[in-house]
Structure formats: C-alpha cells, structure tokens
Amino acid sequence: MTIAEKEQEIIREFSLYDDWLDKYNLLVEMGKSLPLIDPQYMTDQYLISGCQSKVWLHARMEEGKVFYAADSDAIITKGIVSLLIRVFSGETPDTILESDVAFIDKIGLKEHLSPNRSNGLVSMIKQMRLYALAFKTKAAAQEKESSETKPEIPLETLVIDALKTVFDPEIPINIYDLGLIYDLRIDPVTHDVYVLMTLTTPNCPVAEDIPGQVETAVRSIEGIGQVRVELTFEPPWDKDRLSEAALLELGLL
C-alpha cells in the first residue's frame, strides 16, 4: 500500500465512530499492535524530546526502505505513534520526507489532543523525518563512494530537503514551500550554512522552537559545517511567497 492508501484506510476506520471517546479507545487498541522496540533501544539516546510522556523510537534501513519501532509509557501516546509507524514504516526516505501527514487533521486527532500531546505528536513526526533524512544522506554518500561516475547530489538540494522536513504548526505545509526561507547561503569550502527565515506571524505559538528545528534538521546532513539560523519579520511574510506546490496543496491553484 502507498502512504496515501494507508492514510485513507485510517481515515475510514476513524469515520466509523462519532464519539471521540470511542476514537480514543480505537487509538488504545492500535497501540497494542505496535511493533515494540528492542529493549536495547529503550535508553535516553532514543527518547523523543518534546513529548510529555516517554516515547522511544528507533529506525532501520532495509533495501531502501525505512522501518520504525517504538514504545511509550502512556497508552494514548502509544496509539498515536502506532498510527505514524503504520503510515511511514516500509516507505522510502523520499516518500516519508514528502508526506504532509494530512490524515491527522482529517481524522481530527490534533484538535482533540491536549497542547502537550499535540506538541509530542509534532516531535514524533519530526524525529521520524530526521531518521529518513539521515538514511537518505547516508545512502547518497555510499552511492557516491561506490561510483564516481554517478552525479553527486548538490549540498543545497540536501539542505532544502532538510528544510522541507520542518512544518508550520498552523498550516500543513513545510516551511520551504511556504516561503518562510528568505535567504540560504552555503559556504562551498567549509559547508557552513546560514539560514534567514521568518514565520507566518510574529505571534506564532512555537516561534522559539521552529528555528531550533531548522538547525537540527540541517545539522543532520552528513558533512555539514556550522549552522546559523536567524529569524526576522522584515519584510512580513505574505501569501505571495507560497510555492506552486503549496498553492496546489491549499487548493489555491
């Protein structure tokens, strides 16, 4: 099944229930079928930061596809991460990075979570995408080593891919296609990266978190140098900066 097909299957399952208490029970049942993480990975190294409860996540790459395993000490959180694994596991890094996880909004999950759990959901998605990005970068490096005749993936492309793993909390579009990146500079020698970015509004509730997410995403690229992210609100962001992909996603094209 494709990611889109798996998402539609989940949407159908949740649509069978009108009461959110029943939907929470469905989440609990889904959590029981979660492929458990090996005990050796239940350490602080694999804990997802930003989650109210403890969530351990591990990923492995097999034949070009990413497979996830996880566990949590909270039953609802366990159900949430099981949904994400169901969608992402067994997919290629590119497919995972390109997914907009729109099914989360379509089943009404985010709006029925507490603020802490909602932040935890965002952190889980971010960590799964970072794993995918790391695998993609590693695979690209290995491919380069195995054959000098194959074209090298430009570092700028990898940085842009990394930026596309960070999503605006209010609009389900990545920050690059939203046009939040005002300037991107990469030193050709040191591979230091400078990012000048903005937010859709100065009142964004996670204004302090997104630049850190950008820095983490770019730092995950193998061979990258120093990373500096600067936030500005001049000039203010407007919808004219949306890419064609974003306009299409929002139904404006």
- Cis status of the peptide bond prior to 235, with omega within 30 of 0: yes
Exactly one of 51, 55, 134, 195 is catalytic; name it.
51
Tell me the residue type at 98.
E
State yes or no: is 204 an active-site residue.
no
How far apart CA 104 and CA 23 sit, in angstroms, is 13
Strands 193-197 and 227-231: parallel
Between CA 136 and CA 143 the distance in angstroms is 10
Please give the Cα distance from 161 to 176 (Å, whole number).
9
Distance CA 214, CA 77 (A): 25
- Decide if 241 contacts 179 (C-beta within 8 A): yes
CA geometry: angle 118, 233, 117, nearest 5 deg: 5
Which are the catalytic amino acids? 51
